[in-house]
Chain A
Amino acid sequence: MADLGVERADFVAIPVQDLQRADEFYGKTLGLDRNPNSSERWVEYELGNVTLALVSPEAMGPDFRTEGHQMPIGLRVADVAAARAKLEAEGVEFQHETIDSGVCHLARFSDPDGNRLQLHRRYAPYRDGSSP
């Protein structure tokens, strides 16, 4: 049987009810790079290794409903505490104290639609001695 041939993750879909509000959050609050090919109904943000696609009623039809998904996306930042403080100053609420897993720091928050996100930084080297 031929290989299925999955090459990479092309995008991760983020379901949003209010496209404009989400656009502001991902663009202005998180400061991500907006894909210049975005349109009025389909907006994407580029994170270096993967695309986040905002899936909204504009793209899916007026009956599209979402309550926010539970698929936390780990966003790599240089310093979790500093990034958290910056987002808190902009009114973003964090659900817990920052977690130290023993190998990384994690701080959980949500976008305005309730989609879960995490600020993430691994500080421990991997088993082969390399670091992220």
Chain B
Amino acid sequence: MEIEQVDFVTVPTRDPERARAFYHETLELPLDPNNEREVTAGQVTLAFWEPESDGIEFSANGGGIALRVPDVAAARAELEAKGVEFAGTEDSGVCHMAFCTDPDGNTVILHRRYAPYG
């Protein structure tokens, strides 16, 4: 079996319109040209899904999607000015990561690796 690529990552939500507004307007991710109910984070499509409409209990994703930005501190400041709250910024030794949540409580990570690869 060959897995070719990730076609989409699903963002669980209780309010797809609110979620789409956050990812499109606040995070400034473009709408997917093939499906305006989805957004694209560069090479990956983010699809919104209401688990409760499928009879599945909603549970926010704590793992997180790491979005590459040129400057984590600047991007964090810009989002904070829009009212997004951050849990903190970490320096892992190879990258900066700032952790926030979308309106449903799903983890979103602003990420920038500054160390060269091995």
A interface residue numbers (CB < 8 A to B)? 1-15, 30-32, 36-37, 47-50, 52-53, 55, 66, 69-78, 82-83, 86-87, 115-116, 120, 122, 126-128, 132
Q: Which residues of A contact B17 (CB under 8 A)?
A: none
Mask: chain B, 31-70; 1 = CB below 8 Å from A; 0 = not: 0011000000111100101010000101101111111111
Interface of chain A: mostly helix, strand, loop or mixed: loop
B73 within 8 A of A: no
The 6 closest A-B pairs by CB, nearest first: A8-B42, A13-B63, A48-B5, A71-B61, A74-B7, A9-B44
Picked from A7, A73, A78, the residue with its CB within 8 Å of the CB of B69 is A7
Q: Which residues of A contact B28 (CB under 8 A)?
A: 3-4, 6
Q: Are A7 and B68 in contact (CB under 8 A)?
A: yes
Q: Are B1 and A5 in contact (CB under 8 A)?
A: no
Are A9 and B67 also in contact (CB < 8 A) when A37-B117, A76-B7, A126-B34 are?
yes
Mask: chain B, 76-117; 1 = CB below 8 Å from A; 0 = not: 001100000000000000000000000000110101010001
Q: Are B1 and A49 in contact (CB under 8 A)?
A: no
B interface residue numbers (CB < 8 A to A)? 1-12, 27-29, 33-34, 41-44, 47, 49, 51, 56, 58-59, 61-71, 74-75, 78-79, 106-107, 109, 111, 113, 117-118
Please name the residue on chain B nearest to A37 by beta carbon.
Answer: B118
Bound CA span A87–B90, Å? 38
Please name the residue on chain A nearest to B71 by beta carbon.
Answer: A5
Q: Which residues of A contact B64 (CB under 8 A)?
A: 12-13
Q: Which residues of A contact B49 (CB under 8 A)?
A: 72
Given contacts A9-B44, A55-B63, 12 further A-B contacts (CB under 8 A): A2-B74, A5-B70, A8-B44, A9-B65, A10-B67, A12-B6, A31-B3, A48-B6, A70-B51, A70-B61, A71-B11, A76-B4
A-B contacts, 18 listed (Cβ < 8 Å): A5-B75, A6-B29, A7-B68, A9-B9, A9-B43, A9-B67, A13-B109, A14-B63, A30-B3, A31-B1, A49-B44, A55-B63, A69-B62, A70-B59, A74-B7, A77-B3, A115-B63, A120-B8
